[in-house]
Chains A and B, each alone.
Chain A
Amino acid sequence: MTIEPIIRVQSDEFSVDEEVKQLTGEKADIGAVVTFTGICREEGGRLSALELEHYPGMAEAEMTVFAKQAIERFNLQGLLAIHRYGKIDVGKQIVLVAAASRHRQAAFDGANYFMDYLKTNAPFWKKEHAKNSEQSNWVSARDADDHALSKWSKLD
Chain B
Amino acid sequence: MKLVYFAWLRERLNCGEETVELPSNVANVSDLFTWLAKRDELFASVFEHADIIQVAINQKHVQDRSTSLEGANEIALFPPMTGG
Interface residues of A (CB under 8 A from B): 38, 52-55, 57-59, 61-62, 83, 94-95, 115, 118-127, 138-142, 145
Contacts and interface: CB of A to CB of B under 8 A. Distances in A.
Contact of B7 (A83, A120, A127, A145): A127
B84 A118 contact: yes
Contacts, number: 72
A53 B7 contact: yes
A85 B16 CA distance: 16
| Interface size range of chain B in the complex | 10 to 19
Interface of B: 4, 6-8, 10, 56, 59-61, 76, 78-84
Contact of A123 (B8, B10, B56): B56
Nearest to A60: B59
B80 A141 contact: yes
A139 B83 CA distance: 10
Q: Which 10 A-B pairs have the closest CB atoms?
A: A124-B83, A141-B80, A125-B7, A58-B59, A119-B84, A126-B82, A139-B82, A138-B8, A118-B84, A122-B83
Contacts of A124: 81-84
A1 B48 CA distance: 50
A121 B76 CA distance: 14
A125 B76 contact: no
A58 B76 contact: yes
Nearest to A62: B61
